[in-house]
Copies of this chain bind each other. A is one copy, B any other.
């Protein structure tokens, strides 16, 4: 079976593995204070054109989301996000476990708009009983979203303006940021300009694990290392994180390997479209959500592992097909061939 069910089925890019072997028996200090982390921090700051930024390395996405959100909010505040936001649906209540309500807005294709946030905040303060309601304290978006969609630079700019106007820190979950950078018009520099905190996903974008949190204005996450330690995210051998991001941000590796996965996904999408298959969501990134008949599904899943996404009322099902930095061209070829030969709708 060939897996197209998610983008974390393999290990790490070989360049990372090579350096891990090379440096394995070196002795360094722990907890992210080593030279590899320093070097990675420098390269990330440069890539973001944000020399004053703080950069912190954590192990995984849920951990990063919770640690950042917990460090920003006050006890009476909640985090505004799309109903489909990862923190709202797939983190086992990690945000609530820190004491905060997730204030879910109905999103469209996984996204929320500047207007929605603005209206929500206005409605809160207009309510006579505002003090009896959780106060909106920050905004969380995912880019790409959990549905593979992207904020345009214009949309992100508007959201950023509303957030600043409302004094709400804007936090971008970039667990799949590599694919977003490849497919959209938002750059790392834009993120550093427009957000208060964002992270550059490693786990799904070429690393064994690791997320690089970028804080353009370090005052936003004062004392953040205490929080990382308290939340269990401070890796003893922190250099493993530094080394990986240092490698990914050398010679544009991060950009290259993730762009390739997006191209593969778009080939798959085109092949599906050519067979008359429509998509649940119009995704420009590495995740595709074709709507398949039972026969088509059965045909494809003989050879490929796909994720079942949702059941439609007409009896068809939307599936998720993911490429990733590690997807081999031969695997894509075989999938394209299978799409070409699968039953008619």
Contacts and interface: CB of A to CB of B under 8 A. Distances in A.
Q: How many copies does the complex hold?
A: 4
A275 interface: no
Given A17-B21, A25-B11, A223-B135, A91 B229 contact: yes
A340 to B, nearest CB: 23
A132 to B, nearest CB: 5
The interface centre, meaning the residue of A9, A135, A233, A234 with most chain B CB atoms within 10 A of its CB, is A9
Interface in A233-279: 233-237, 240
Given A12-B24, A237-B203, A76 B92 contact: yes
Q: Is the interface of A mostly helix, strand, loop or mixed?
A: loop
B30 A8 contact: yes
Interface residues of A, number: 75
Interface in A3-44: 3, 6, 8-12, 14, 17, 20-21, 23-31
A131 B33 CA distance: 12
Nearest to A326: B25
Contact of A237 (B11, B28, B64, B102): B11
A223 B17 CA distance: 34
Interface in A121-166: 128-129, 131-135
A225 interface: yes
Given A10-B25, A71-B75, A209-B236, A96 B134 contact: yes
B14 A17 contact: no
A90 interface: yes
B94 A100 contact: no
Contacts of A94: 229-232
Given A25-B10, A71-B75, A134 B93 contact: yes
A227 interface: yes
B232 A60 contact: yes
Contacts of A9: 27-30
A98 interface: yes
Nearest to A227: B76
A304 B74 CA distance: 38
Given A62-B229, A230-B91, A99 B97 contact: yes
B59 A92 contact: no
Contacts of A49: none
Contacts of A293: none
A70 interface: yes
Interface string A56-87: 00011111101100110011101000000000
A92 B97 CA distance: 16
Contacts of A108: none
A286 to B, nearest CB: 15
B208 A240 contact: yes
A209 B235 contact: yes
Nearest 9 CB-CB pairs, A to B? A63-B232, A76-B226, A11-B24, A92-B230, A93-B134, A9-B27, A92-B229, A96-B101, A3-B27
Given A131-B223, A135-B226, 5 more contacts: A9-B30, A75-B98, A91-B229, A92-B133, A128-B308
